[in-house]
Chain A
Amino acid sequence: MGELRASTGGCVAPSRLRHIDAWRTALSGIRSRSTRSVLSSLGIAVSIAALTAILGLSASNQADVLADLDAQGANLVVVTPVVGVDGDAAELPSSAPAMVARMPAVESVAVLRSVPREMHAYRNDLVPAGESNGLTVAAVDPGYFAAVGAEFGAGESFGEAGRALPEVVLGHEAARLLGVDLLGVDPLGVDPLGVDHAAQRIWVGSEWYAVSGILDPRPRVAGLDTSVLLGDAWAEQRLWSDHDASHIISLTMRVRAESLDTVRRMLAPTVDPSNPRTVSVSNPSALVATRAIVDDSMSVLVAGLAAVALLVGAIGIANTMVVAVLERRGEIGLRRALGARANHIARQFLLECIVLSGVGGIVGWAAGAVVVGVATTVNGQVFVLPLASAALFPGVAVIVGVLAGLQPATRAARVPPTTALKAG
Chain B
Amino acid sequence: MTGESLEAETVLELAGVSRSFGGAVPVRAVDDVSLTVRAGEIVALVGSSGSGKSTLLALMGALDVADLGAVRIAGHDVSGMTDAHRSAVRARFVGFVFQQFFLLPTLSAVENVALGLLYTGTDARTRRSRAALALERVGLGARLAHRPSQLSGGEQQRVAVARALVGEPSLVLADEPTGALDSVSGAGVMRLLQSVAGRGTAVVVVTHDREIAGALDRRIVLSDGRILSDETRRVAAAHAAGVGSPSETEGHV
Query: Residues of A at under 8 Å CB distance from B?
Result: 1-4, 7-9, 11-18, 20-21, 24-25, 28, 31-32, 330-331, 333-344, 416-418, 421, 424
Q: Tell me, rounded to whole Å, the shortest Cβ–Cβ distance linking A57 to chain B.
A: 41
Given contacts A3-B15, A3-B70, A12-B89, contact A424 B102 (CB under 8 A): yes
Give Cα distance in the complex from A15 to B117, angstroms.
10
> Is B87 within 8 A of A336, CB to CB?
yes
Neighbouring B residues of A424 by C-beta, 8 Å: 98, 100, 102
Q: Tell me, rounded to whole Å, the shortest Cβ–Cβ distance linking A174 to chain B.
A: 82
Neighbouring A residues of B163 by C-beta, 8 Å: 338
Which of B42-50, B119-127, B133-141, B211-219 interfaces with chain A?
A: B119-127
Is B157 engaged at the interface, CB distance under 8 Å to the other chain? Answer: no
Q: A31-B106, A340-B118 are in contact. List 14 more A-B contacts (CB 8 A).
A: A12-B76, A12-B85, A12-B92, A15-B120, A18-B123, A21-B118, A28-B104, A334-B102, A337-B61, A338-B118, A339-B118, A342-B83, A417-B64, A421-B63
Give Cα distance in the complex from A344 to B76, angstroms.
22
Give Cα distance in the complex from A41 to B195, angstroms.
48
Give Cα distance in the complex from A344 to B90, angstroms.
14
Give Cα distance in the complex from A424 to B17, angstroms.
26
Is B155 engaged at the interface, CB distance under 8 Å to the other chain? Answer: no
Our pick among A7, A16, A333 for the contact of B119 (Cβ within 8 Å) is: A16
> Is A418 within 8 A of B69, CB to CB?
no
Neighbouring A residues of B77 by C-beta, 8 Å: 4, 7
Q: Tell me, rounded to whole Å, the shortest Cβ–Cβ distance linking A6 to chain B.
A: 9
> Is A417 within 8 A of B58, CB to CB?
yes
> Is A417 within 8 A of B75, CB to CB?
no
Is B55 engaged at the interface, CB distance under 8 Å to the other chain? Answer: yes
Give Cα distance in the complex from A336 to B84, angstroms.
11
Neighbouring A residues of B120 by C-beta, 8 Å: 15-16, 339
Give Cα distance in the complex from A330 to B72, angstroms.
26
Is B40 engaged at the interface, CB distance under 8 Å to the other chain? Answer: no
> Is A333 within 8 A of B102, CB to CB?
yes
User: A413's closest neighbor in chain B, by CB?
Assistant: B83
Neighbouring A residues of B15 by C-beta, 8 Å: 1-4
Given contacts A337-B61, A418-B64, contact A15 B88 (CB under 8 A): yes
Neighbouring A residues of B110 by C-beta, 8 Å: none
Neighbouring B residues of A417 by C-beta, 8 Å: 58, 63-64
Is B244 engaged at the interface, CB distance under 8 Å to the other chain? Answer: no
User: A32's closest neighbor in chain B, by CB?
Assistant: B106
> Is B69 within 8 A of A2, CB to CB?
yes
Give Cα distance in the complex from A232 to B115, angstroms.
85
Given contacts A12-B76, A14-B88, A339-B88, contact A25 B68 (CB under 8 A): no
Q: Tell me, rounded to whole Å, the shortest Cβ–Cβ distance linking A338 to chain B.
A: 6
In the complex, 25 of the A-B residue pairs with CB atoms within 8 angstroms, ordered by the A residue number, are: A1-B68, A4-B13, A4-B77, A7-B76, A8-B75, A9-B76, A12-B89, A15-B88, A15-B119, A17-B118, A20-B124, A21-B124, A28-B106, A31-B106, A32-B105, A335-B118, A336-B87, A336-B90, A337-B63, A337-B96, A338-B91, A338-B163, A339-B118, A344-B87, A418-B54
Given contacts A1-B68, A15-B84, A15-B88, contact A330 B119 (CB under 8 A): no
Give Cα distance in the complex from A32 to B149, angstroms.
14
Neighbouring B residues of A2 by C-beta, 8 Å: 15-17, 68-70, 79
Which of A1, A3, A9, A15: most chain B Cβ within 10 A? Answer: A15
Q: Tell me, rounded to whole Å, the shortest Cβ–Cβ distance linking A341 to chain B.
A: 4
Closest 4 CB pairs of A and B: A339-B91, A9-B75, A1-B16, A339-B119
Q: Interface residues of B, CB < 8 Å — how many?
A: 47
Is B32 engaged at the interface, CB distance under 8 Å to the other chain? Answer: yes
Q: Tell me, rounded to whole Å, the shortest Cβ–Cβ distance linking B84 to chain A.
A: 4
Our pick among A11, A14, A31 for the contact of B87 (Cβ within 8 Å) is: A14
Our pick among B55, B70, B72, B121 for the contact of A18 (Cβ within 8 Å) is: B121
Which of A8, A331, A339: most chain B Cβ within 10 A? Answer: A339
User: A333's closest neighbor in chain B, by CB?
Assistant: B102
> Is B87 within 8 A of A421, CB to CB?
no
> Is A421 within 8 A of B75, CB to CB?
no
Q: Tell me, rounded to whole Å, the shortest Cβ–Cβ distance linking B118 to chain A.
A: 6
Q: Tell me, rounded to whole Å, the shortest Cβ–Cβ distance linking B132 to chain A.
A: 18
Give Cα distance in the complex from A11 to B81, angstroms.
10
> Is B102 within 8 A of A14, CB to CB?
no
Neighbouring A residues of B206 by C-beta, 8 Å: none
User: B91's closest neighbor in chain A, by CB?
Assistant: A339
> Is B32 within 8 A of A1, CB to CB?
yes
What mask results when residues 10 to 24 of chain B are scored 1 for a CB within 8 Å of chain A, else 0? 000101110000000
Is B74 engaged at the interface, CB distance under 8 Å to the other chain? Answer: yes
User: A330's closest neighbor in chain B, by CB?
Assistant: B102
Neighbouring B residues of A333 by C-beta, 8 Å: 102
User: A4's closest neighbor in chain B, by CB?
Assistant: B70
> Is A9 within 8 A of B74, CB to CB?
yes
Is B107 engaged at the interface, CB distance under 8 Å to the other chain? Answer: yes
Neighbouring A residues of B84 by C-beta, 8 Å: 14-15, 341, 343
> Is A339 within 8 A of B76, CB to CB?
no
Q: Tell me, rounded to whole Å, the shortest Cβ–Cβ distance linking B199 to chain A.
A: 21
Q: Tell me, rounded to whole Å, the shortest Cβ–Cβ distance linking A342 to chain B.
A: 5
> Is A13 within 8 A of B63, CB to CB?
no
Given contacts A12-B85, A25-B118, contact A336 B63 (CB under 8 A): yes
Give Cα distance in the complex from A14 to B151, angstroms.
35
Give Cα distance in the complex from A24 to B114, angstroms.
13
> Is B90 within 8 A of A15, CB to CB?
yes
Neighbouring A residues of B64 by C-beta, 8 Å: 416-418
> Is B87 within 8 A of A340, CB to CB?
yes
> Is A17 within 8 A of B69, CB to CB?
no
Neighbouring B residues of A8 by C-beta, 8 Å: 75
Give Cα distance in the complex from A331 to B121, angstroms.
19
Neighbouring B residues of A416 by C-beta, 8 Å: 64
Give Cα distance in the complex from A342 to B120, angstroms.
15
Q: Tell me, rounded to whole Å, the shortest Cβ–Cβ distance linking B122 to chain A.
A: 9
Give Cα distance in the complex from A285 to B55, angstroms.
79
Neighbouring A residues of B96 by C-beta, 8 Å: 337-338
Give Cα distance in the complex from A424 to B115, angstroms.
17
